[in-house]
C-alpha cells in the first residue's frame, strides 16, 4: 500500500482560524469530506459516535465540508455549523469548505488521494463521506469509500490499530 504523510498540511477551521494536521500529532485521525444534503449525511451520527467512543484513547474525527458533489453542501460555514450541531449534535472539529478534487483541490486531499483503498484504487474522492485514516505519526494508513459506514467492522478495527492510548 502506498502511503502519504500529511503532518505539515495547514487548513482553515469552520470558525476561520488557522490549523494544521500537526496539531493532531500523536493522535489517530479520521478525515472525512462531509455534506449536509447528501443521502449519506446520516453518517454524521456514526462519525460522532466514533469520536465519542475513542476520544479518550487519542482519536479525532475531522470533517471537511465540500460542495463538489451535486451541490450537496451549499451553505456557508455558519449554516453548516448550525445544521451539524443542531441536527446531529456534532462536536468534532469541522474545517471551512474545501475542494477535494479538481483544479482547486486542497493540499490535504492532494496527499490523501494518493493512497489506495482496500481494492488497491487510489485517485479522486468518489463522493461525500469518503474516509481517510491517519496514524499518530501523520501517515495515511487507510482509505474507506463513502458507503463504508462509520461503524463498519473493518473501519473500527483499523481505527483501533492506530489508537495511541
DSSP code string of the chain: ----B-TT-EEEBTTS-EEEGGGGTTSEEEEEEE-SSSTTTTHHHHHHHHHHHHGGGTEEEEEEE--TTTT---S-HHHHHHHHHHHH---S-BBPP-BSSSTTB-HHHHHHTTS--TTS--SS--STT-EEEE-TTSBEEEEE-TTS-TT-HHHHHHHHHH---
Question: Over the stretch 132-160, which tens digit does the pLDDT of each residue have?
Answer: 999 999 999 999 999 999 999 999 999 99
- Any idea how long the chain is? 165
pLDDT of residue 1: 44
Q: Which residue has the cell 446520516?
A: 42
What would the pLDDT profile of 44-61 be if each residue is shown by its tens digit? Answer: 999 999 999 999 999 999
Please report the pLDDT score of residue 3 as a whole number: 62
The model's pLDDT over 29-40, given as tens digits with 9 standing for 90+, comes to: 999 999 999 999
Could you tell me the pTM of the whole model? Answer: 0.96
Instruction: For residue 66, indicate whether it is catalytic.
Output: no
| Residue 75, pLDDT score | 95
Binned at pLDDT 50, 70 and 90, residue 165 comes out as confident
Task: Give the pLDDT score at 4.
Answer: 79
For the cut 70, the answer to whether the pLDDT of residue 2 exceeds it is no
Catalytic residue among 14, 28, 38, 159: 38
CA separation for the pair 23, 32 (Å, rounded): 17
For 21, 51, 139, 149, 163, the CA distances from 5, given in Å and listed in that order, are: 10, 22, 4, 24, 17
Amino acid at each position: 500500500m502506498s502511503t502519504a504523510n500529511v503532518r505539515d498540511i495547514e487548513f482553515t477551521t469552520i470558525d476561520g482560524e488557522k490549523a494544521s494536521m500537526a496539531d493532531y500529532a500523536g493522535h489517530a485521525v479520521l478525515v472525512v469530506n462531509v455534506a449536509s444534503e447528501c443521502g449519506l449525511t446520516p453518517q454524521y451520527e456514526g462519525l460522532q459516535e466514533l469520536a465519542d467512543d475513542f476520544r479518550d484513547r487519542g482519536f479525532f474525527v475531522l470533517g471537511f465540508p465540500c460542495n463538489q458533489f451535486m451541490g450537496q453542501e451549499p451553505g456557508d460555514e455558519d449554516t453548516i455549523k448550525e445544521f451539524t450541531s443542531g441536527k446531529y449534535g456534532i462536536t468534532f472539529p469541522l474545517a471551512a469548505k474545501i475542494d477535494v478534487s479538481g483544479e482547486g483541490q486542497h493540499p490535504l486531499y492532494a496527499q490523501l488521494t494518493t493512497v489506495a483503498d482496500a481494492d488497491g484504487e487510489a485517485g479522486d474522492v468518489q463522493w461525500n463521506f469518503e474516509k481517510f485514516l491517519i496514524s499518530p505519526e501523520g501517515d495515511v494508513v487507510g482509505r474507506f469509500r463513502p458507503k463504508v459506514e462509520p461503524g463498519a467492522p473493518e473501519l473500527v478495527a483499523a481505527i483501533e490499530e492506530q489508537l495511541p492510548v
